[in-house]
Amino acid sequence: MLLTVLLPILLSAAPLAAQDAGYKFVEPSESLPNNPWHDTFIDETAKTPEGQPNAGATWCDHFLQAAIDNRLRKTAAQMPWEKHPSFFSWTVWGYLSPDSKFKGDARLLEMSRTWLDTLFVDLATKPADAKAAEQWQPNRLNTWGFHDYTMPLLEAEKRPELKKSLGEERIHQLREIILANVRSNTTPEAFNDLMGRADKYINIITHPMAVYIHGWLLTGEKKYLQMAYQIVHTLGRDQLPNGMFPYRYKIHSNRHCEYEMMYYHAMNLRGLYMYWWATGSKEAADIFRKSIPYYPLNMEPPYFFNGGADIWWKDQWRTFWPHHIAMVAAVTGDGENARIANDMARNSVSHDRIDLVLGAHAYQQMGLRKVAAKPVRNNYLLEDPDIRGVRLRFGRWSSTFTAGSFTYTRASAMRVADDDKSFSTLHLARPFVRVAPLEKAYRTEPDYGTLGHSGADYSFARTGTLAAIGTSYSPALTAATWQENQPIAPWKMDELWLMTESGMVGLIVSTAMEDNEARELCHQFRFIIPSREDAKSSDGNRFACGDMSLRIWDTDLPFRIPERTRRYALGEKDRSDWQLCLSDADRSPEQVAQEAAKEQMATLKLPAVRKYEKGYKRFSLLEVSPAGDGDIRKVEALKAGNVLGFLVQRGDSATFVFYNPQEKTEAVRITTLSSKPKSVAASWEKIAPGALGKTPLPVPARGVLLVTY
C-alpha cells in the first residue's frame, strides 16, 4: 500500500546550506573534484564479460530468488525480505543490471514498494522492548549499513521511470529520511568527535563512509566530500608497508599496533571503494595499490585466512567475503588479488549477504578492465612489519611468527588439504599462567596468556629458507586488556623458533621472576583439526593433528593433558579446538572441569593456588610439521650456559639455533662438529663461517644465531 502521508522527519537536522565553520578539516593533498566521477554503480548497458566470475551477481540473484520464494529467512540472510536492510539495494540492482537473471522483472518493483512501506512504518514505530526503546529515535538509520539505503536511492533518482514505478512519494520520503540522517551525523560536533576517536581507530568511521560520500552525491555540498576525504587521508596516513590498516593504533604508546583481521580490512576497503568510484581520486587509488600484498600474504592459497597474527578477541581463523578482494583487483589491475577473488567466486567461498551490489560492481569492473589472474605468491620467507613478525610459505605449508599488540600466540602454522577444501592449523603455542579457578568457563580468559598493548620485541636471523626468531616478554592479564594499567605476570617467557619450508621447531622457557601465587604454569599447543576431531597419538609424544603432526621432543613439565578448548569469538561453550597442555598441575581437562555436573565436582582434579618461588623454571621443546612431508629426524636441546639453543637434524644437514635472552653478552661455542659451516646468520651482524670453532662467539643481549652444517 502506498503511503500517501509522509511520516515526520524527527531527527535533529541543521540546514543543508550550513557553513563549514567548526569542522576540523585537513588540507587535501590533491584537488577535490567539483563534480562526481560517478554517481551510480549500475550501468544498464554493461554486462560482466564471459569467463569472468561474479560472486556479487551470483549471490544477489540467489537471495532475490529466495525472497521471491518467500524463504529468505532460511538462508544466510536470516530475515524476511520485507525487513532485510539490504533487500532494496538487491532489487534495484536485479531490476536494472544485465548481470541479473531478474533484469526487468516487475515482481522486484512490487516487492520494493512493499519493502519501502514496511521500512517507513518500522522507522516510525517505537520498539516494544524497553531497553531498545530507550535508545530509539524515529527515522534513525544504521550508519554502518548506510549504503544499503543511499545506493538504490541514487539509482532511482537518475531514472525517472524507475522512480515513478517505485512511487515518487516513497522515493521523496526515503530521500528526506536519508538526508536527515546525513545532517544529524555530520554536525561539527558529531563529525569532529567521531573523527577524533577514529584518528587511531579508523574502522569506526570507514564503516559509515556512505553518510559522507553519498551525502555529497545527494546534495552537492562540498563539506561532505571534505569529510569523506579526511577519512581516506587518515586511512592512507597510517597504512603499513604490506597494506594493513591497523585496527587500533598508537593509543597506548608508539609501539601499540593491533592487527587488522579480514573483516575490518574489508570494511575499510568498502569505504575506500565508494570514495574512489565517486571521485576518481588518485590518493584513494594509491592506497588500494599499497594494499595489494594484504590478501596474498594473509590468505593461504587458495583462500584460507591465516589468523595467527590476530588480536585475541578477534581470534577466528575465518575467511570473510571475496567482494573486497575484487575491489583491489578492479582498482589496481593486480593479478594475485584477481586470482583469489575468482577462486572464491567459482567455489562459492564465504558468501553471505554483505556488500553484494558493490561486489557485483567490482567483479564486473575486473572483467571490463580485463584484469588477468596470476598465481598467488609462494615459496617465500620474509619479515612482515605489519604483523611485527615473520611469514613463511612453501607449497601448502605456512608458518607465522608475531609479536604484535594483544596477540595470543607468537607462533602458528597452517597446512592446506590436498583437495583445497579444508586446512589444519597450529592455532597457538604459548606459555600460560592460570590464576583463576579452572572449573568456571569465562568468555574472556581471566589469566595471563596474551601480550600487552606494546607487544614484544623479537630478534631474527635467516639463511636461505631457514629463519630463527627469539623473543622475551611477560604475559599480560587478558581480562584487563582495556584497563588503563594492565597487570603483567611476574614471569619471564623466552621463546626460540626455527621456521623451515617443511616444519617448525620451538623452545619455550618460563621463569618466575619473583615469588608469586598461581594455580598452574603450562605450555599450550592448540590445533584446529578438520571436522573438529581430536588428535591421535600412540605414545603421548607424537600427535596426528589432521594434516599436521606435533611432537614433544623434550619437556620438564610433568603432566600431559589433552583437552577441548574454545575461541573467544565463538563463545565460552564452543570447544572447536583440540589442545595438548603440558602442565605442572595434575588436573582434569578443561572441558571436563567446566562441564561437570554438581554431583561430579568431587571427582574433579582442580589446580589449587600454590606458591611459586623466584627462579622456578620450566621448558618445552617441540616440533610441528606437515604430516608426511616433514624431514626433521632429530631435535635436541643444547646446554649453552644462559643461552637457549637446540640442534635440528634434517636429512643430511644439521642446524644449530641459539638465542641469548639475557641483558648482557653471553658466549657460545659449537664443538660437536669439526667441518666448516655451510652458513652462519646472526641478528646483529654478518659473521663469516670461519669465525666459529675453537674461539667462543659472543652473542649480544637478545641476539639470535643460526648455523647450518
300: pLDDT strictly greater than 90: yes
Half-sphere CA count of 633, side-chain side, radius 13 A: 7
| pLDDT of amino acid 674 | 63
489: pLDDT strictly greater than 60: yes
179: pLDDT strictly greater than 60: yes
In the chain, the N- to C-terminal Cα span, in Å, equals 82
| pLDDT of amino acid 16 | 37
In this structure, are 492 and 631 located in the same domain?
yes
Which of 347, 368, 389 delimits the end of a domain? 368
| pLDDT of amino acid 334 | 99
In this structure, are 60 and 196 located in the same domain?
yes
Q: How many CB atoms lie within 10 A of CB 548?
A: 26
Model pLDDT for residues 110-163, shown as the tens digit of each residue = 999 999 999 999 999 999 999 999 999 999 999 999 999 999 999 999 999 999
671: pLDDT strictly greater than 80: no
In this structure, are 70 and 158 located in the same domain?
yes
In this structure, are 407 and 354 located in the same domain?
no
Quote the domain boundaries for residue 238: 55-368
**How many angstroms separate the CA atoms of 416 and 150, rounded?**
41
In this structure, are 357 and 416 located in the same domain?
no
**How many angstroms separate the CA atoms of 490 and 97, rounded?**
62
Residues comprising the chain, all counted: 709
In this structure, are 481 and 598 located in the same domain?
yes
8: pLDDT strictly greater than 50: no
DSSP secondary structure string, 599-664? Answer: GGGGG---PPPEEE-TT-EEEEEEEEEETTT--EEEEEE--BTTBEEEEEEETTEEEEEEE--SSS
In this structure, are 424 and 449 located in the same domain?
yes
DSSP secondary structure string, 396-411? Answer: TEEEEEE--TTBS-SE
| pLDDT of amino acid 673 | 61
76: pLDDT strictly greater than 90: yes
Q: How many CB atoms lie within 10 A of CB 421?
A: 12
Position 48 in a domain: no
605: pLDDT strictly greater than 90: yes
The chain-wide mean pLDDT, for the chain, equals 95
Model pLDDT for residues 245-299, shown as the tens digit of each residue = 999 999 999 999 999 999 999 999 999 999 999 999 999 999 999 999 999 999 9
In this structure, are 185 and 233 located in the same domain?
yes
Position 310 in a domain: yes
Confidence band (pLDDT; 50, 70, 90) for 694? Answer: low
| pLDDT of amino acid 682 | 97
| pLDDT of amino acid 599 | 85
| pLDDT of amino acid 512 | 99
Q: Is 350 left (phi over 0), alpha (psi -120 to 50) or beta?
A: left
Position 285 in a domain: yes
**How many angstroms separate the CA atoms of 623 and 654, rounded?**
15
Which percentage of the chain shows pLDDT scores above 90? 89
What's the whole-number mean pLDDT along residues 632-640?
94
Model pLDDT for residues 199-253, shown as the tens digit of each residue = 999 999 999 999 999 999 999 999 999 999 999 999 999 999 999 999 999 999 9
To 10 degrees, what angle do helices 55-68 and 356-368 make?
140
Position 429 in a domain: yes
**How many angstroms separate the CA atoms of 540 and 542, rounded?**
6
What's the whole-number mean pLDDT along residues 18-29?
83
What's the whole-number mean pLDDT along residues 38-49?
98
Q: What is the CATH number of the domain that holds 699?
A: 2.70.98
- The residues near 279 (Cβ < 8 Å, ≥ 6 apart) are 32, 33, 36, 37, 213, 225
In this structure, are 184 and 104 located in the same domain?
yes
433 grid coordinates? 599462567
Which of 368, 402, 419 delimits the end of a domain? 368
Position 24 in a domain: no
Which of 333, 368, 403 delimits the end of a domain? 368
Query: Which residue in this structure is represented by grid cell 602442565?
Result: 583
| pLDDT of amino acid 570 | 78
What's the whole-number mean pLDDT along residues 508-527?
99
User: Is pLDDT larger for residue 50 or for residue 675?
Assistant: 50
Q: How many CB atoms lie within 10 A of CB 12?
A: 10
Q: How many CB atoms lie within 10 A of CB 96?
A: 23
In this structure, are 399 and 465 located in the same domain?
yes
User: Apex CA 8: angle with CA 3 and CA 10, to 5°?
Assistant: 145
Position 272 in a domain: yes
Q: What is the CATH number of the domain that holds 219?
A: 1.50.10.10
Position 8 in a domain: no
DSSP secondary structure string, 139-169? Answer: T---GGGTHHHHHHHHHHHT-HHHHHHH-HH
Q: Is 378 left (phi over 0), alpha (psi -120 to 50) or beta?
A: beta
**How many angstroms separate the CA atoms of 207 and 21, rounded?**
25
**How many angstroms separate the CA atoms of 654 and 634, rounded?**
9
14: pLDDT strictly greater than 70: no
In this structure, are 362 and 387 located in the same domain?
no
Confidence band (pLDDT; 50, 70, 90) for 547? Answer: very high
Model pLDDT for residues 397-437, shown as the tens digit of each residue = 999 999 999 999 999 999 999 999 999 999 999 999 999 99
Name the domain count of the chain: 2
| pLDDT of amino acid 4 | 35
What's the whole-number mean pLDDT along residues 163-182?
98
Which class for 394: exposed (0-12), middle (13-18), buried (19 or more C-beta within 10 A)?
Answer: middle
Task: Determine which helix (DSSP H) or strand (DSSP E) holds 42, and give its type and residue range.
Answer: none
The reported pTM is 0.94
What's the whole-number mean pLDDT along residues 359-383?
99
3-state SS, residue 554: strand
Position 636 in a domain: yes
User: Is pLDDT larger for residue 304 or for residue 7?
Assistant: 304
CA 270, 276, 277, 278 dihedral sign is positive
In this structure, are 363 and 385 located in the same domain?
no
- The residues near 668 (Cβ < 8 Å, ≥ 6 apart) are 640, 643, 645, 658, 660, 696, 697, 699, 705
574: pLDDT strictly greater than 90: no
| pLDDT of amino acid 17 | 38
